[in-house]
């Protein structure tokens, strides 16, 4: 079934790159990618909010095949939520994907499973696709709780999300201890947990689970991406640090070569 899933590699730039830097990075990235790279892999960049408009204009103007993602949104569509950005605002910028429930949002900004669920629904309501992040802490891993943690995060985040919507879902499995630390899960461990996530999706969506893409994230680099992508349950990567530099990110995307 894995053949049916086109790999998706998304760069999560976090709080890096001004809009001017972001333009340069996307131009340099696209310059290195060939049509066959875009055919083989869906490429997405997720800049900070301040750079979305510039990158949208660049993608439209130069007809780039790079997809546009946002890193977050608020779950109400409008109103008195000072400092927040809504789904309709992102959709108007032709944003394709929105990262929801990243561990930094959960840990630093206190996002609960309930908030994550509301955000997932807001993404769908506005015609975009969520990249839903799940993953365990080191303590949870050491206590043997990885499977229970990711299954419950998936279940809670997708409450009220129907079969018709689930098709557009992307899940990112990101063990928290592997993010930005240079440590990454072994391909075997990552494949085992992504397999458990797929199984959880199967209990809810049946065979549709075979067409939902599950990324691995956490210290993905040019040197380890190929081994991760060789695993049957891993359909792409959510890349932080290594996506900031266009040369490095292009090497991640061209992992087949």
Residue in the shown chain whose Cβ atom is closest to ligand PGA: 240
Single out the residue of 42, 140, 174, 235 in contact with ligand PGA (rule: CB under 6 A): 174
Q: What is the DSSP letter of 168?
A: T
CB of 136 to ligand PGA, least distance (A): 14
Both tokens of 157, joined, read: 């985040």
CB of 221 to ligand PGA, least distance (A): 8
241 binds ligand PGA (CB under 6 A): yes
Closer residue to ligand PGA (CB): 105 or 198: 105
For the chain, the farthest-separated pair of C-alpha atoms sits apart, in whole angstroms, at 51
Dihedral over Cα of 88, 94, 96, 98: its sign:
negative
174 part of the active site: yes
Number of residues near ligand PGA (by CB under 6 A) = 13
> How far is the C-alpha of 190 from the C-alpha of 194, rounded, in Å?
6
234 binds ligand PGA (CB under 6 A): no
19 part of the active site: no
Contacting range for ligand PGA; rule: CB under 6 A; set: 26-34, 49-57, 74-82, 236-244: 236-244
Contacting range for ligand PGA; rule: CB under 6 A; set: 75-83, 139-147, 155-163, 174-182: 174-182
List all residues 6 or more positions away from 56 whose beta carbon is below 8 Å from its beta carbon: 68, 93, 94, 95
What residues from 2 to 41 belong to the interface with ligand PGA (CB under 6 A)?
A: 12
Closer residue to ligand PGA (CB): 205 or 234: 234
Beta bridge partners of 12: 46
236 binds ligand PGA (CB under 6 A): no
Q: Which of 111, 136, 140, 174 is catalytic?
A: 174
CB of 174 to ligand PGA, least distance (A): 6
Q: Which of 102, 104, 111, 200 is catalytic?
A: 102
> How far is the C-alpha of 55 from the C-alpha of 52, rounded, in Å?
5
Q: Where are the alpha helices (DSSP H) in 6-162?
A: 19-32, 35-40, 49-62, 87-92, 103-108, 113-125, 138-142, 146-157
> How far is the C-alpha of 120 from the C-alpha of 127, rounded, in Å?
11
> How far is the C-alpha of 20 from the C-alpha of 151, rounded, in Å?
40
Query: What are the C-alpha distances in Å from 130 to residues 153, 212, 257?
Result: 14, 12, 29
CB of 14 to ligand PGA, least distance (A): 7
Helix (H, G, I), strand (E, B) or coil at 197: helix
179 binds ligand PGA (CB under 6 A): yes
Report the interface residues with ligand PGA, using CB under 6 A: 12, 174, 179-180, 217-220, 238-242
Residues with a catalytic annotation lie at 102, 174
């Amino acid at each position: 079934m894995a053949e049916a899933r086109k790999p998706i590699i998304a760069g999560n730039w976090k709080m890096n790159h001004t809009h001017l830097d972001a333009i340069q990075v996307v131009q340099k990235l696209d310059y290195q990618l060939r049509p066959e790279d875009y055919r083989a892999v869906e490429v997405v960049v997720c800049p900070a909010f301040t750079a979305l408009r510039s990158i949208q204009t660049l993608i439209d103007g130069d007809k780039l095949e790079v997809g546009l993602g946002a890193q977050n949104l608020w779950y109400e569509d409008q109103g008195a939520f000072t400092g927040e950005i809504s789904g309709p605002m992102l959709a108007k910028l032709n944003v394709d994907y929105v990262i929801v429930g990243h561990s930094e949002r959960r840990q630093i900004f206190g996002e609960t499973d309930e908030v994550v669920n509301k955000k997932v629904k807001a993404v769908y309501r506005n015609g975009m696709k969520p990249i839903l992040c799940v993953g365990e802490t080191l303590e949870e891993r050491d206590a043997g709780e990885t499977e229970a943690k990711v299954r419950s995060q998936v279940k809670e985040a997708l409450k009220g999300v129907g079969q018709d919507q689930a098709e557009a879902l992307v899940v990112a499995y990101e063990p928290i201890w592997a993010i930005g630390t240079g440590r990454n899960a072994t391909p075997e461990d990552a494949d085992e947990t992504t397999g458990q996530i797929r199984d959880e999706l199967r209990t809810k969506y049946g065979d549709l689970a075979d067409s939902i893409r599950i990324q691995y994230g956490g210290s993905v680099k040019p040197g380890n991406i190929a081994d991760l992508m060789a695993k049957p349950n891993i359909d792409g990567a959510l890349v932080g640090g290594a996506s900031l530099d266009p040369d490095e990110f292009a090497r991640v995307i061209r992992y087949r070569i």
